[in-house]
Chain A
């Protein structure tokens, strides 16, 4: 789960990483109130989960209430790389003497944590890595031993931070590691980490990704759930406990297992179609899970056909078939379904389904054939679907 900057800063603050005084605003008036509280000059910052906000005009300095009004008004509603700004963070502007970069993440090949520290902060770290890789001091941290202050101090030396900044920076780095480790972050990044003109170190930005698997030991993450996704399909799936990612196509996908779900999207693509989503219903494909999955797919207006791809391993296919039949009784579907059921007890499962098959519920023996059928059905429905949708809207207007 990615956090917004303001959430990341609040998360940092829990662990004692210094940040600027500031607050959240959803309206121009709120922005002014927050600015008055933080003290002028202030920085008005768009809250979107995407990089490059500054270049897009989403970060502005304001010296008084009028400037806050002007900037907040311009930034709220702004579209930054497909993300519409609905919330601002307004904080007291810092007098910056130097900008650094600091982060921790997992180095998967090395199977240890990797810290990156650079005296070139405030720019994208990927850019620094390409143009001047020597400017990034890398430190592998053993997950068993952790990071101590002496090591952090030597690391700050290696990175060539300004003398005045090193001791304080080392302390912030140790704290950032503790936040990353105890706070179960996949990524904890400060860019820039600044040295102020009066010699203080603090975080001017926060990029935090939390590990969803650690949710069980972080009740404080509850507050982030409401802002997790803007996609209404994903919100609906989340409420039903489904592993769903919205895509742009018209073939709805349901599969058991993440790998198979991914592979199903790929195969649909290979035969000339476009998947509308990734949806993994996991191991237990019973009627409840199947109904929930079909409801979510059904709510997606762009879906024209649904491809249910199940390989029974420990889940027996006859159980899946019963689940599908029951789910079809509960959900009133707009789109036809293509089923591919294979694996343990596949024949029993197909026999159960046989009496239910119609031109709106078809079965195919293999993944490829089922994908072709689903894509063809989506294409056919797409050409009448457009007409049908228009007719529906017209009849609504007349009513």
Chain B
């Protein structure tokens, strides 16, 4: 099993043209084995690019192909409209990897989804996407570094650290059920708790790796959720112990404001919740490998 996406997921890529990022990544996902069934472009409806049928709108693509998921990598000024278009077309799972969307657009879009399209889940924006190894890969994660067969579920706020985590586990022969990159923006569509709850429910996921970073209080909230609801072992790593307060560390969400959002506070909260807290990504991988061995 896997969470959110599996071998039945069918994907429409929004904003494809012969030179677009969307097409590039969409074709990579298709090469991995993902059922990428359509692309959209308002000026290219009816064309076929690299074997991918292109429709003018997401609604037409859904009508013709029955796509259930969408993949968005359009530039920041157009991302919010693309997300809403997908939701209005009945897409139930949207992956938006676009980096640099204004926070006000994110807040407005998130609240419109909640109010008008409660059946739609948004992953991202500003995330690497999601991979259920061997089944479905939507986003920019390299399929080579993931290993199918479980038993570890990964949820991460950071892109390259997600790859690092996949790599550490795969190298030791430990596979993953699903790896979800939730992204580092201030208003993520899917948060740690959504993923922790789904991994807890998934019978094939036996242990969970969680990678957080400075800023906000999502890790603290995740810690409360773990203490109350998660019975599976959790290994955590939090980036940014040395980050100075008041400075955005790359991600729009990664900023220590006043005494809030420090890595140490998050590590303490997660440790108190019964999670294993590692000091660096390598140690997180090692601890998880030990746990998986003990599980047998």
- Asked if A259 and B103 sit within 8 Å, CB to CB, the answer is no
Q: Given A313-B140, A313-B142, A344-B144, A261 and B104 touching (CB < 8 A)?
A: no
The distance in angstroms between the C-alpha atoms of A213 and B142, with both chains bound, is: 27
From the candidates B141, B160, B237, name the one contacting A255 in the complex (CB within 8 A). Answer: B160
A83 to chain B, nearest CB (A): 12
The distance in angstroms between the C-alpha atoms of A226 and B159, with both chains bound, is: 31
Across the interface, which residues of A come within 8 angstroms of B250, CB to CB?
A: 243, 257-259, 261-262, 278, 280
Task: Determine whether A399 belongs to the interface, using a CB cutoff of 8 Å to chain B.
Answer: no
B3 to chain A, nearest CB (A): 21
- Asked if B216 and A313 sit within 8 Å, CB to CB, the answer is no
Which B residues between 96 and 146 are near A, CB-CB below 8 angstroms? Answer: 100-104, 107-108, 110-112, 114-115, 128, 140-142, 144-145
Task: Determine whether A186 belongs to the interface, using a CB cutoff of 8 Å to chain B.
Answer: yes
- Asked if A263 and B161 sit within 8 Å, CB to CB, the answer is yes
- Asked if B216 and A108 sit within 8 Å, CB to CB, the answer is yes
Task: Determine whether B242 belongs to the interface, using a CB cutoff of 8 Å to chain A.
Answer: yes
Interface pick from A67-75, A153-161, A264-272:
A264-272
Across the interface, which residues of B come within 8 angstroms of A263, CB to CB?
A: 158, 161, 164, 237, 239-240, 280-281
- Asked if A257 and B161 sit within 8 Å, CB to CB, the answer is yes
Across the interface, which residues of A come within 8 angstroms of B242, CB to CB?
A: 247, 262, 265-266, 268-269, 275
0/1 interface trace, chain A 144-178, chain B, CB 8 Å (1 if under): 10000000000000000000000000000000000
A141 to chain B, nearest CB (A): 10
- Asked if B104 and A112 sit within 8 Å, CB to CB, the answer is no
Which B residues between 225 and 274 are near A, CB-CB below 8 angstroms? Answer: 237, 239-244, 247-254, 258, 263
Across the interface, which residues of A come within 8 angstroms of B160, CB to CB?
A: 255-257, 259-260, 311, 313
- Asked if B186 and A344 sit within 8 Å, CB to CB, the answer is no
Across the interface, which residues of B come within 8 angstroms of A108, CB to CB?
A: 186-187, 216-218, 253
- Asked if A216 and B254 sit within 8 Å, CB to CB, the answer is no
- Asked if B104 and A184 sit within 8 Å, CB to CB, the answer is yes
The distance in angstroms between the C-alpha atoms of A257 and B218, with both chains bound, is: 20
From the candidates A259, A275, A342, name the one contacting B239 in the complex (CB within 8 A). Answer: A259
The distance in angstroms between the C-alpha atoms of A268 and B160, with both chains bound, is: 17
Task: Determine whether A113 belongs to the interface, using a CB cutoff of 8 Å to chain B.
Answer: yes
Task: Determine whether B213 belongs to the interface, using a CB cutoff of 8 Å to chain A.
Answer: yes
Which A residues between 265 and 305 are near B, CB-CB below 8 angstroms? Answer: 265-270, 275, 278, 280, 283
- Asked if A344 and B216 sit within 8 Å, CB to CB, the answer is no
Across the interface, which residues of A come within 8 angstroms of B141, CB to CB?
A: 313-314
Q: Given A106-B187, A278-B249, A311-B160, A143 and B104 touching (CB < 8 A)?
A: yes
Nearest A residue (CB) for B283: A368
The distance in angstroms between the C-alpha atoms of A247 and B247, with both chains bound, is: 11
A198 to chain B, nearest CB (A): 36
The distance in angstroms between the C-alpha atoms of A366 and B281, with both chains bound, is: 11
- Asked if B213 and A259 sit within 8 Å, CB to CB, the answer is yes
0/1 interface trace, chain A 72-108, chain B, CB 8 Å (1 if under): 0000000000000000000000000000000000101
- Asked if A314 and B142 sit within 8 Å, CB to CB, the answer is yes
Task: Determine whether B77 belongs to the interface, using a CB cutoff of 8 Å to chain A.
Answer: yes
Task: Determine whether A384 belongs to the interface, using a CB cutoff of 8 Å to chain B.
Answer: no
Task: Determine whether B76 belongs to the interface, using a CB cutoff of 8 Å to chain A.
Answer: yes
The distance in angstroms between the C-alpha atoms of A267 and B242, with both chains bound, is: 9
Nearest B residue (CB) for A274: B242
- Asked if A258 and B282 sit within 8 Å, CB to CB, the answer is no
Number of interface residues of B (CB under 8 A): 63
Across the interface, which residues of A come within 8 angstroms of B4, CB to CB?
A: none
Across the interface, which residues of A come within 8 angstroms of B100, CB to CB?
A: 213
- Asked if B213 and A278 sit within 8 Å, CB to CB, the answer is no
0/1 interface trace, chain A 112-152, chain B, CB 8 Å (1 if under): 11000000000000100000000000000011100000000
Task: Determine whether A21 belongs to the interface, using a CB cutoff of 8 Å to chain B.
Answer: no
Across the interface, which residues of B come within 8 angstroms of A326, CB to CB?
A: none
- Asked if A111 and B111 sit within 8 Å, CB to CB, the answer is yes
Across the interface, which residues of B come within 8 angstroms of A368, CB to CB?
A: 280, 282
Task: Determine whether A109 belongs to the interface, using a CB cutoff of 8 Å to chain B.
Answer: yes
Task: Determine whether B67 belongs to the interface, using a CB cutoff of 8 Å to chain A.
Answer: no
Could you write out 27 A-B pairs with CB less than 8 Å apart?
A106-B107, A108-B216, A108-B218, A186-B103, A211-B104, A213-B101, A247-B242, A255-B160, A257-B161, A259-B156, A259-B157, A259-B158, A259-B159, A261-B249, A262-B214, A262-B242, A263-B239, A265-B240, A266-B263, A268-B242, A278-B249, A313-B142, A313-B145, A313-B160, A314-B142, A367-B280, A367-B282
Closest 9 CB pairs of A and B: A259-B158, A258-B250, A257-B160, A260-B160, A214-B102, A259-B161, A143-B107, A262-B239, A263-B239
